[in-house]
Amino acid sequence: MPNESLVKRNVPLSSKLIQQSHLFSSLPEPLVQDMTEHFKAERWGKKSFIDNEILQRRFFLLLEGRLEMTRTHPESGRCVTLDLLKKGDGFDVITLLDGRKHEVTLSPLEELKVISVPIEKMREWIWTYPELNQKFMPYLAQKMREQEDKTTDFALYDTVTRLSRIILKNIDSVNAYTGQTDKEHTEHLVSGLSDEVLSRMVGSVRQVINQHLQHWKQKGVIDKKRNQIKINNLQAIIDDAGITNSNI
């Protein structure tokens, strides 16, 4: 019997599921219903192998879970995270735009729920429907800004500054949070990432990242149990990131 975590399982599909994606959320219901027949919905286990060649044939949208996109040096084996995809993200936007193969590795960090559509159909829709284009273009600009910020951080800042900025950018502003707003960040940090994953995101190595995290823990800035990080002193992280509250 195959390992169930390696199996991609089909999910019942409906227009409501398609509308969970930000890109399709504001489209008229009749239009979404027509589009639904072109989509496929699946659940992918944490250990699912994703052949990146499929990205030239289908455009995927992430509805649940987190997916790491990495690039590896062919000789040294050194690996860096290009993007950490979360709910609402599309992949791969670059291949969607230019049609070329993208040499990346896609690794689920937990079980995923994804929907996908033939990539040519997605391109057709972007050109045909202004409502979709109006959602897609700002999203594309957002991803370009994120990559610009990452390039700038890699070139200009040291490891602890990059780590601080990664943590701040991944604080999850959950709308359903009902506790005290001044303590919102303590529980809603996008957590559960291993030191290895954080090191790839920062562009460093696991030992260095662990050293910085242990330093913060000793100072009382964070609590860290296994891979769960809870921030006790948000201002200290902001100070190490070299930014002001208005930039978060």
> Tens digits of per-residue pLDDT, 167-191?
888 776 444 445 566 666 665 556 6
Residue 8's pLDDT band (boundaries 50, 70, 90)?
low
Structural domains of the chain sorted by starting position, each given as residue range(s) with its CATH number in brackets: 4-146 (2.60.120.10), 157-247 (1.10.10.10)
- The pLDDT value recorded for residue 182 is 65
As a whole number, mean pLDDT of residues 100-107 equals: 89
Range in 6-10, 49-53, 171-175 the model is least confident about: 171-175
Average model confidence (pLDDT) across the chain: 86
Phi, psi (5° rounding) for residue 167? -65, -45
- The pLDDT value recorded for residue 175 is 44
- The pLDDT value recorded for residue 225 is 85
Residue 119's pLDDT band (boundaries 50, 70, 90)?
very high
Q: Is 62's pLDDT higher than 50?
A: yes
As a whole number, mean pLDDT of residues 155-178 equals: 78
Taking the model in full, what pTM does it have? Answer: 0.81
More confident residue, 209 or 3: 209
- The pLDDT value recorded for residue 76 is 87
What would the 3-class secondary structure string for the chain be?
CCCHHHCEEECCCCHHHHCCCHHHCCCCHHHHHHHHCCCEEEEECCCCCCCHHHHHCEEEEEEECCEEEEEECCCCCCEEEEEEECCCCEECHHHHHHCCCCCCEEEECCCEEEEEEEHHHHHHHHHHCHHHHHHHHHHHHHHHHHHHHHHHHHHHCCHHHHHHHHHHHCECCCCCCCCCHHHHHHHHECCCCCHHHHHHHHCCCHHHHHHHHHHHHHHCCEEEECCEEEECCHHHHHHHHCCCHHHC
